[in-house]
Amino acid sequence: MKFKAMTAIAALLLAPAAFAGGADDDVLVINGEIEMTTKADAPAHLDGALDQVISGWHFRADETQQLETDDFENQGMIFVDQAIDQWNTAAGSEGKSCADCHGAPEDNMAMVTATYPKYDSDAGELQTVQMQMNECRTERMGADPWKYDSGAAVNMEALIASVGRGTPVQVAIDGDAAPYYEQGKEMYYTRYGQLELSCANCHEENFGNYIRADHLSQGQINGFPTYRLKNAKLNGVQSRFKGCIRDTRAETFSPGSDEFVALELYVKSRGNGLSVEGPSVRN
C-alpha cells in the first residue's frame, strides 16, 4: 500500500501543468558564430520512443538561455579558464602537462566529447572522458588520478567539451560497446526508489510538463558539464544521475561506477545528432 501511495503521489507531481508549453522554437548561437543543432531527428535506435531529440536549452527560461549565448555571460566558462591553466601545468613524476602531448585543446580535442563514452580496446573497457583523463594522468604523467566528478576533473572535461561545441554527438553503440549500451538502456527504464520512477517516466513520457516547479526536459546530456544556477557550480553528468536516483528515494550508485558509465553511454546516445554544448547553463 505504501508503494502504491508513493506512485500516486509521483503521478500527481508529474501531471501536466496548465502553463506547460514544451520546448520553445528559439535558436542557439554561441558568441554570434557557433550555430548549435538543438533539435534533430531521433536516432534510429530510439524508434518508437521519440521522434525528435531536443536539447535541454529549449526548456529553460529566456534569461537562462541567454547566459549560454555568450562566453562572457556563461558562468561555466570561469571553470574552463581554470582548466586551461591546469592543461598547461606539468604534474606528476614525469613532469609533463596535457599540452606536452596534445598541444592546444582546440587542435586535438574537438571530437572527444562528441564520441565519448567509447570502448578502449587497450584498456578492455568502456571509458568516459574522465576515465581517459585519469589514464593519462596515471600512465603518462605519473600523477594521482582525480576523484570522479571532482572539481578539477569536471573543469577539464568542460574545457574539452568547449572546444567541440557545435560538433554533433555521435557515440557508437555497436560492437564492443553494445553490452554497455544494453546495460544502460535497462537502467534507463528501471523504476527506482520509493517513488518507483525511472529515467523514462520523467524524460521520455513527461518532457515538457512540470514536476513541482521544474520544467522537465528530455534529459539530454549534450550540454554537460553543466553550470547549474541551483548550486552555482559546474556539474558532471554522473553526479546528476546520482541526484536523480536519490530523488526517487532510492539507494543510488556512485559517479564512476560501472552502472553510471553504462548509463552515460545510453543517455548520450539518445542525443546523437545534437550539438555538443558544454559547458551549458541550466537551472
Question: Could you report how far apart the first and last alpha carbons of the chain are, in Å?
Answer: 35
Residue 102 counted as an annotated binding residue? yes
Residue the block writes with cell 524524460:
203
* Identified catalytic residue from 67, 158, 244, 245: 244
Residue 101 counted as an annotated binding residue? yes
Residue 136 counted as an annotated binding residue? yes
Residue 282 counted as an annotated binding residue? no
Residue 140 counted as an annotated binding residue? no
Q: Which residues contact 139 (CB under 8 A, 6 or more apart)?
A: none
244: annotated active-site residue: yes
Report d(CA 243, CA 108) in Å as an integer.
Answer: 33
Residue 58 counted as an annotated binding residue? no
Catalytic residue annotation: 244
Annotated binding-site positions for heme c: 98, 101-102, 136, 199, 202-203, 244
Annotated binding-site positions for substrate: 240
Annotated binding-site positions: 98, 101-102, 136, 199, 202-203, 240, 244
